[in-house]
Amino acid sequence: MCGVVGVVQKDTVNQTLYDALLVLQHRGQDAAGMVISDGDRMHLRKDNGLVSHVFEERHMVRLPGIMGIGHVRYPTAGSSSSAEAQPMYVSSPYGLSLAHNGNLTNAEEMRKFLRDEAKRHLNTDSDSEILLNVLAHELQETGHKKAEPETVFEAISRVQSRCRGAYAAVAMIVGGGIVGFRDPRGIRPLLLGSRRGALSTEYMIASENVAFDTLGFEVVRDVAPGEAVYITRDGELHSQVCCSDFEHTPCIFEHVYLARNDAVLDGVSTYQTRLRLGEKLADRYLDYSNKHGVEADVVIPVPETSNANALAFASKIGLPYRDGFVRNRYVGRTFIMPGQDVRQRSVRRKLNVIKSEFRDKRVLLVEDSIVRGTTTRQIIQQVRAAGAKEVSMLVASPPVCYPNVYGIDMPSKEELVANGRTIDEIKEFIRADHLIYQSFDDLIDSARVDNPQIKNFECSIFTGEYHSEDVDEEYLLELSNRRKDSKKNKRDSELRDLNNLVQLQFS
């Protein structure tokens, strides 16, 4: 999960990109970057850290131009090294940069193709660099001197025939324009927005409509599965579905956890979906409590994604809704932090309990999802330490049993608390008195209400059913080995040691 944005407007674009990236910060807090073209050159700034840390005034004045792309990174493949921050750039053809949200499932096949046939050098382990170079190769293969719309669409059609997995990407061509394109299943979100300028229409392509709302752009539409939209530097809009074989299966986890409450993706309102999930979870709780004689005093969400779930849940069962946690907004989302050690250290800094809301009460905690379970266990320990008599956990999504291969860096299968455990065993692990999960059918129904045209969602983390032919047991085993926290911690430690050594040599 990352955030991408591309903008073409009539005046300097750096502030627009900066503001858009701030709004998309929830999609990635590992690194940020933007590249802007002044017509002849690209001006790039990227680094590890939050948007407000990466871009200072001295950086912004060095980023002139009327079109550019930006990225907030959440590490999915490779390490959290600043070398893999985006956007990425190649000089040929034209001068081309790219920012990517997703994950290629045939990355190794494409890496071999680029090395042996395309004769292109890769400098990182990032599949985003692979996607960039495949696009560059296909643009080169068209043989056209200029990046006209038909040239760009022809190249992207070839990219879509080669690259499998999930990708919602924006790319910038020097002297040409901005192009946004989406994989044939539309797994990761991408939208087109417009704003009427003084002289002409200005355009933005972004991962969520929330970037449009902040900057006065109107949603034009979602970029369709397999489609590319090309905005020339003169502000002309062109679009084409570049893939004949497509089936829309957007990621359901966007609405469970990833997207902001005010996001509307592929016609599905994230906020309304979360409210419906809370109501359906209430039905499950009422049935459970009638069978097991559970009583409770208060409903409290684990902030912030689950707030809407808990609000609808409390309203339906007739119990008071209270805020029991104070969230430190300067600590990032723990689920998307690299390494378990970092996540565990962040939990207590992130959430402080309001003891009066827990003392001597039977508490219903509402959470959007449980992944590893270690954070949930820590939260329950905090609640008990605050004096709660009984703690029940209500989860607005089904058990997460399988890793994600489409751009969400979920842990290895062995590190998922629901993998291979019964509900009772998970309950014991997180040390809750009661544990109730959402049903899978209720999850799908809650999202499909807004857009019945979506026949299927990408739900592999719940079902273990992957659409990509590349995803087999060997692929999942290799992915598991890369994603284990022990591997990540060792890799990041080695990277820190190398950086320290370099600093010593040059100090």
Residue-wise pLDDT for 94-126, tens only, equals: 999 999 999 999 999 999 999 999 999 999 999
Residue 76 above 70 pLDDT? Answer: no
Least confident among 89-93, 214-218, 268-272, 482-486: 482-486
Whole-angstrom CA distances from 217 to 1, 196, 208, 290, 485 are: 23, 8, 12, 49, 40
Helix spans in 304-406 (H): 307-317, 340-350, 374-385
| % pLDDT > 70, the chain | 90
Q: Given CA atoms 348, 349, 350, 354 in this order, what sign does their dihedral have?
A: positive
In eight-state DSSP terms, residue 185 is T
Q: Where do we find the tokens 């999915």?
A: 76
Active site annotation includes 251: no
Strand partners, 47: 32
pLDDT for 316 equals 98
Residue 432 above 80 pLDDT? Answer: yes
pLDDT for 495 equals 46
Q: What is the mean pLDDT of residues 36-58?
A: 95
d(Cα 310, Cα 299) in Å, to the nearest integer? 7
Cα–chain-centroid distance for residue 216? 23
Cβ-proximal residues to 416 (8 Å cutoff; 6+ apart), any chain: 371, 372, 400, 401, 402, 403, 410
Band the pLDDT of 494: cuts 50, 70, 90: very low
Instruction: For the beta carbon of residue 339, count every other beta carbon within 10 angstroms.
Output: 19
Q: What is the mean pLDDT of residues 334-346?
A: 52
Q: Name the pTM for this structure.
A: 0.91
Among candidate residues 2, 242, 243, 251, the one labeled active-site is 2
Residue 469 above 50 pLDDT? Answer: yes
338 or 152, greater pLDDT: 152
d(Cα 397, Cα 461) in Å, to the nearest integer? 11
Element (H, E) at 495: helix 485-506
CA angle 96-100-103, nearest 5°? 130
- Phi, psi angles (nearest 5°) of residue 224: -75, 155
Whole-angstrom CA distances from 43 to 18, 20, 88 are: 14, 18, 12
Q: Which amino acid is at 13?
A: V
Beta strand pairing call for 237-241 and 67-73: unpaired
* 8 A C-beta contact, residue 129 and residue 120: no
Helix spans in 46-148 (H): 51-54, 57-60, 107-116, 127-142
Band the pLDDT of 36: cuts 50, 70, 90: very high
- Phi, psi angles (nearest 5°) of residue 76: -115, -55
Q: What is the mean pLDDT of residues 38-65?
A: 96
Whole-angstrom CA distances from 297 to 318, 324, 378, 438 are: 10, 13, 22, 21
Residue 85 above 60 pLDDT? Answer: yes
Cα–chain-centroid distance for residue 206? 12
d(Cα 278, Cα 394) in Å, to the nearest integer? 9
Whole-angstrom CA distances from 432 to 281, 425, 436 are: 17, 10, 10
* 8 A C-beta contact, residue 9 and residue 66: yes
Q: Strand ranges (DSSP E) for 22-129? A: 31-37, 42-48, 67-73, 88-90, 96-104
Band the pLDDT of 482: cuts 50, 70, 90: confident
Cα–chain-centroid distance for residue 34? 18
pLDDT for 70 equals 98
Band the pLDDT of 241: cuts 50, 70, 90: very high
Band the pLDDT of 232: cuts 50, 70, 90: very high
Band the pLDDT of 405: cuts 50, 70, 90: very high
Strand partners, 167: 102
The candidate with the shortest Cα–Cα distance to 63, out of 76, 73, 54, is 54
429 or 198, greater pLDDT: 429
Give the helix, strand, coil percentages of the chain, each rounded to 5.
Answer: 40, 25, 40
Residue 449 above 60 pLDDT? Answer: yes
pLDDT tens for each residue of 253-306: 999 999 999 999 999 999 999 999 999 999 999 999 999 999 999 999 999 999
Rg (CA), the chain: 23
pLDDT for 1 equals 84
d(Cα 267, Cα 263) in Å, to the nearest integer? 10
pLDDT for 481 equals 87
pLDDT for 498 equals 42
Query: 466: left (phi > 0), else alpha (psi -120 to 50), else beta?
Result: beta
244 or 174, greater pLDDT: 174
Instruction: For the beta carbon of residue 452, count every other beta carbon within 10 angstroms.
Output: 8
Q: What is the mean pLDDT of residues 58-75?
A: 94
- State the Cα torsion 464-466-470-476 to the nearest 10°: -20
Residue 321 above 80 pLDDT? Answer: yes
- CA neighbours within 13 Å on the CB side: how many for 148? 7
Element (H, E) at 3: strand 3-8
pLDDT tens for each residue of 139-191: 999 999 999 999 999 999 999 999 999 999 999 999 999 999 999 999 999 99
- State the Cα torsion 139-142-144-148 to the nearest 10°: -60
